[in-house]
Amino acid sequence: MTIHQIECFLEAARTLNFTEAANHLYISQQGLSRQIASLEKELELRLFDRTTRDVRLTRSGELLLWRWKDIPKEIYDSVDMAREEGERAKRRINLSVVGMSGIIEMAGNILADYMALDPDVEFEINEFTNIKDITNGNPDLMMTVSFTPSYEQLKEKCGLVVVKNLPLYYVMSKENPLAQKEEIVMEDFKGETMLCLFKNFFAGAELRLFELIAKQEHILQKARYYENVNSLELAIIANEGIHIGFKEFYHNYGERLVMHPMPNSNSQAHASVIIVWRKENEKRLESFIKFLKNNYN
């Protein structure tokens, strides 16, 4: 059964005149008759009663007319919608954002500001917690956090913009004895466990930071990993270890967390929120990249 057969049946059923129906469809009357006959043979149904004087629908024909009357329009409308979606997909910008609530909110604000300038653009945001999520999704851009200057290594193959620097803190439960101290030094963490997010986090940021501290200071020698922010934060609240992060990272349920500047209030380190793209995509993303550089670089 083809769309053309259905169209031939519907036009003949509406007009009850094969010559008139053929003219409406710009085919010969013989061609229309062949299409109807082929359809009846396939369905094993007689759809029309034809005499030399008139044409009438059978009960089966009336039923099909009732159920099929909108099929061609729905098919053509759906094809138009699919083509429109295909064109939109070519223009759509896919952004993968690290799964941290504060960073996702930041991404939303950046995209909303750009869309106010370019209403025709369309973005799709996906969260990631693992480098595999990025490679599988093949995003146009990635928004993540670098705790170390390692993102400089990306500049050979990627373009990037630092959209914000976030002060870093030692984060611990209020139940931790260190929470009561006014100033904290690295030696205070001897014997503590470092709680980390995502063992496969992009660039291994927290792992690199942990290894750096453990190697140079011989203080933090244990690490524990969590697959999502909520589980990590609950572990901090339960005083299972310390974390190094930024305020936008935490929900801070009931203000149960204490944060001390890292390494101290006089020379506080920071994490960088960066947006990264492949250089081969720069032409297609040219307008948005220009916006980022003008407003955040």
Concatenated DSSP letters of 56-85: EE-HHHHHHHHHHTTHHHHHHHHHHHHHHH
Q: Give me the mean pLDDT over the 41-48 stretch.
A: 94
Can you identify the CATH homologous superfamily of domain 167-268?
Answer: Periplasmic binding protein-like II (3.40.190.10)
- Please give the CATH architecture assigned to the domain spanning 1-87: Orthogonal Bundle (1.10)
Q: What H or E segment, with its residue span, contains residue 295? A: helix 286-296
- CATH annotation of 88-163+270-294: 3.40.190.10
Sketch the domain layout of the chain as residue ranges. 1-87, 88-163+270-294, 167-268
Q: 221 vs 45, 153, 194, 217, 218, CA distance in Å?
A: 80, 27, 8, 10, 7
Prior bond to 149 cis, omega within 30?
A: no
CA distance 54 to 61: 15
Whole-prediction pTM: 0.64
Q: 252 vs 111, 134, 235, CA distance in Å?
A: 26, 28, 12
User: pLDDT tens digits, residue range 189-240?
Assistant: 878 888 887 654 444 445 555 555 555 444 556 788 887 788 889 999 999 9
Q: Is the pLDDT of residue 39 over 90?
A: yes
What is the predicted pLDDT for the residue at 80? 92
Q: What is the largest CA-CA distance in the chain?
A: 105
Q: Give me the mean pLDDT over the 75-102 stretch.
A: 86
Q: Give me the mean pLDDT over the 262-277 stretch.
A: 84
What is the predicted pLDDT for the residue at 163? 92
- Domains 1-87 and 88-163+270-294 belong to one CATH topology: no
Q: Is the pLDDT of residue 135 over 70?
A: no
Q: Are 9 and 64 in contact (CB under 8 A)?
A: yes
Q: Are 238 and 209 in contact (CB under 8 A)?
A: no
Helical residues (DSSP H) of 69-219, grouped into ranges: 71-91, 101-117, 131-137, 205-217
What is the predicted pLDDT for the residue at 144? 85
